[in-house]
Amino acid sequence: MARECGFELAGVAAAEPAADAAYYREWVAAGYAGEMRYLTDRRAAVREDPRNLLASARSVICAGKLYQTPWPYSTQFNHAERAWISRYAWGDDYHEAMRLGLDKLAARLREQAGPFESKVCVDTAPLLERSYARLAGLGWIGKNTCLINQQSGSWFFLGELLVSLEIAPDAPPPDRCGSCRRCIEACPTEAIVPGGAGYTVDSRLCISYFTIEQRGAVPEEMRAGMGGHVFGCDICQDVCPWNQRAPVTDDTAFAPRNFAPPLGELAELTEAEFRDLFRGTPVTRARYAGFLRNVAIAMGNRALPEFRAPLEKLAASENPLVAEPARWALARLA
């Protein structure tokens, strides 16, 4: 039934307090959430129990949707003049597709089971998605902290349907990372640190955090590690052995609209052009000024002479979020 609703992976966990909540509390206490207040405010406590989201919840139906398309990995791509946008953000924003699929799943279940209460959660809901997805048998939590499925790798989004129905839960699969450390070694900013039951991600060191979530300036000492990334980062998944033969989706919604666009063109975008180019994709989350900040840093890292003119324009911006990294990048060109 889940497959007919657009999900390649599905399973069920009991809607009980999260046994992993202690990891989450430790993670927040260590400061690893950076400035992501939605993770540390009153919503942190809501995460401890799915019944805080739906009082009558008895089961959490976890669903996974593949987004892998047949295009190169960032680790195979070597074009200094082009920007890297992470795979999940190439096409349509997944939130809507996940929500529609989960609504459809709820409707189909009602046809079979009669009336019940339900709530759809995707990403932004205060729910420990990977913890419940692991319990529902969708995969194990790798050292890169992604949920990895033995057959499907980790290129999938997660979403959940909380239901008041009692459904027999699935069992979590074993951890198959073994002695591998590829993700830890490949991370250019050493963001995968000891923590939790093994490893965790310190967002304050993660390129994905800098380029998507951080609203202010990127600390100077972190900039060199960002390479050509302008939105998100895929490196710790690109190198994972479980992703080397990961299946691709036949859903064209996630295919790149604009694969690895030239940095020079991105630097010239007006705000309206930025909105047009990335409308309906996750990239708009970085906002225009944050995106130009990322482009300036990527240009400084690539240090190609043809970036001088666009960087001089960015350095003249009235917005210090853009002007300062552009000056930093110009200094690297020199």
Contact footprint for ligand B12 (CB under 6 A): 18, 20, 23-24, 27, 36, 39, 86, 88, 122-123, 127-131, 141, 144-147, 154, 156-158, 196-198, 200-201, 203, 206, 208-209, 212-213, 232-234, 236
Partner that binds at residue 189, options ligand B12, ligand SF4, none, CB closer than 5 to 8 Å by kind = ligand SF4
- Closer CB to ligand B12, 8 or 265, in the complex: 8
Q: How far is the CB of 206 from ligand B12 (least distance, A)?
A: 4
Helix (H) or strand (E) holding 192: strand 192-195
Rounded distance, CA 317 to CA 128, Å?
Answer: 40
Strand partners, 262: 82
Contact 212, 285 (CB under 8 A): yes
| Cα(226)–Cα(224) distance, integer angstroms | 5
First-residue to last-residue Cα distance in the chain: 59
Residues near ligand SF4 (CB under 6 A) are 142-144, 177, 180-183, 187, 189, 191-192, 201, 206-208, 233, 235-236, 239-242
- Do 168 and 137 contact (CB within 8 A), yes or no? no
| Binding partner of residue 301 among ligand B12, ligand SF4, none, CB cut-off 5 to 8 Å per kind | none
Q: Is the Cβ of residue 23 or residue 71 nearer to ligand B12 in the bound state?
A: 23
Residue listed under structure tokens 């409707």: 107
Nearer to ligand SF4, 88 or 274 (CB): 88
Least distance to ligand SF4 from the beta carbon of 75, Å?
10
Nearest distance, CB of residue 242 and ligand SF4, angstroms: 6
Q: Which residues are catalytic?
A: 123
Adjacent-strand bridge partners of 13: 60
Which partner, ligand B12, ligand SF4, none, binds residue 240 by CB below 5 to 8 Å per kind? ligand SF4
Q: How far is the CB of 330 from ligand B12 (least distance, A)?
A: 27
Provide the 8-state DSSP code for 20: T
State the DSSP H helix or E strand holding residue 323, giving kind and residue range, or none if neither.
helix 320-333
Hey, what are 220's tokens?
A: 């100077």
Based on the number of CB atoms within 10 Å of its own CB, is 151 exposed (0-12), middle (13-18) or buried (19 or more)?
A: exposed
Which two structure tokens, joined as six digits, stand for 138?
Answer: 């969708």
Binding at 66: pick from ligand SF4, ligand B12, none (beta carbon under 5-8 Å per type): none
Residue with Cβ nearer ligand SF4 (118 or 144): 144
Q: Which one of ligand B12, ligand SF4, none is in contact with 108 (Cβ closer than 5 to 8 A by kind)?
A: none
Q: Least distance in Å: CB of 321 to ligand B12?
A: 18
Are 226 and 207 in contact by the 8 Å Cβ rule? The answer is: yes
